[in-house]
Amino acid sequence: MKMIINCMPRSVLSQEEADLLRELSSEEIVDLEKMSDAEGFYEKVEAVIPPFRYKAEDLAPMRNLKWVQSFSAGVNTHPLSYLKEKDIVLTNTRGVHGPQMTDHIMGMILAFSRDFLPAIRHQKERPWSYEYHLTELRGKELLIVGAGSIGQLLAKKAKAFDMTVVGLKRTPEELQYFDQVLPLEHMLSAMETADYIVILAPLTKDTRGMVGEEAFQSMKKEAVLINLGRGPLVEEEALIRALKEGRIRGAGLDVFHKEPLPEESPLWDLENVLLTPHLGGFSDGTNRRAVELMAENIKRFRQGEKLLNVVDLHLGY
């Protein structure tokens, strides 16, 4: 009998959610702590839900593997070259993280707009101070670097605050809620007028380090950078220099080059940084949406139908 195995840790996908996946998909999915626990029945494994990080060697014994379902939207931690070489289909959970990630981003934008960072410090220190840098979002320009599904939902929410929204996309197209959509090559010039710059691009060999020294030199002094894409999209040392020197107003960061963020990182102590530990994609609704999406894909897989969210292994997203 051909098998589907689930190797997501219980800390991420609970027993109840794994049982719900079985119920919704009508599939007897086998839960394993690690992929090597499939030793003895490797040849029966046709599909796998892997942990967040794994290697090609983990898949190699599964000679009949046809499909890998990622629990995340980003796939930069998957062995893409091996999957491409073996003609294994990779799908992701694109779309399930949009509501909470865009809430998280808007929360960061509002925190800077209403100067909540010093207000929180003052609440602890107890000075009655009016020395805040207070702005409003109406008319402010939001630049979304990566106008995919999450970027488009963010644009919708930003429009509720009467913001001007500019998007950057590999292949520009007219999109609802955007005042303008430009090719990624226009990033530096687009940054010159942006008040808030949100990084949502996928991490590929072409986008790694895309926001570096030249980008920070292009930003205006009042600009706020927010990264909920992937840490290596931004050159961290260049960001730290720009923040320390006051060349940009601040940064909201949920992703980093190294995670957990090392205790010695200067980012912990900078007063113009709002930092969260890579939790922007989590909420009380995330896993339910992911389970429903994966269950639908399992049904399609068994029926030989086209799967949802197939990743282009050449592009890496």
Strand partners, 180: 166
Residue 42 pLDDT greater than 90, yes or no: yes
What pLDDT, in 10s, does the model give residues 119-162? 999 999 999 999 999 999 999 999 999 999 999 999 999 999 99
Tokens of 56: 């090609």
pLDDT of residue 1: 72
For the segment 76-85, what is each residue's pLDDT rounded down to a tens digit?
999 999 999 9
Query: Distance between CA 200 and CA 250 in Å, rounded?
Result: 17
Give start-end residues of each CATH 3.40.50.720 domain in the chain: 3-96+284-303, 98-275
Which residues are annotated as catalytic? 230, 259, 278
pLDDT at 124: 94
Rounded Cα distance, 221 and 230, in Å: 24
Nearest alpha-carbon partner for 88 in 103, 104, 105, 75: 75
DSSP assignment string, 108-150: HHHHHHTTHHHHHHHHHH------------TT-EEEEES-SHH
* 215 close to 187: Cβ distance less than 8 angstroms: yes
Residue 306 neighbours by CB under 8 Å, 6+ apart = 300
Correct CATH for 3-96+284-303 of 1.10.490.10, 3.40.50.720, 3.40.710.10, 3.40.309.10: 3.40.50.720
DSSP one-letter code for 259? S
State mean pLDDT over 26-32. Answer: 97
**What was the pLDDT predicted at 168?**
98
The predicted model scores a pTM of 0.92
Q: Which helix (H) or strand (E) holds 288?
A: helix 286-303
| 57 contacts 13 by C-beta, under 8 angstroms | no
Residues 68, 90: contact at Cβ < 8 Å? yes
251 Cα distance to chain centroid: 16
The per-residue pLDDT for range 159-203, each reduced to its tens digit, is 999 999 999 999 999 999 999 999 999 999 999 999 999 999 999
| Three-state secondary structure call for residue 104 | helix
Give the model confidence (pLDDT) of 60-110 as tens digits. 999 999 999 999 999 999 999 999 999 999 999 999 999 999 999 999 999
Give CA–CA dist 80/144, Å, rounded: 26
- Which CATH number, 3.40.50.1220, 3.40.50.720, 3.30.70.240, 3.20.20.70, labels domain 98-275? 3.40.50.720
Cα torsion through 67, 72, 75, 80, rounded to 10: -20
In single-letter form, the type of residue at position 300 comes to: R
CB 209 within 8 A of CB 216: no
* Residue 38, number of CB atoms within 10 A of its CB: 20
What pLDDT is stored for residue 139 in this prediction? Answer: 98
Mean pLDDT taken over the chain:
97
The pLDDT tens digits for 198-253 are 999 999 999 999 999 999 999 999 999 999 999 999 999 999 999 999 999 999 99
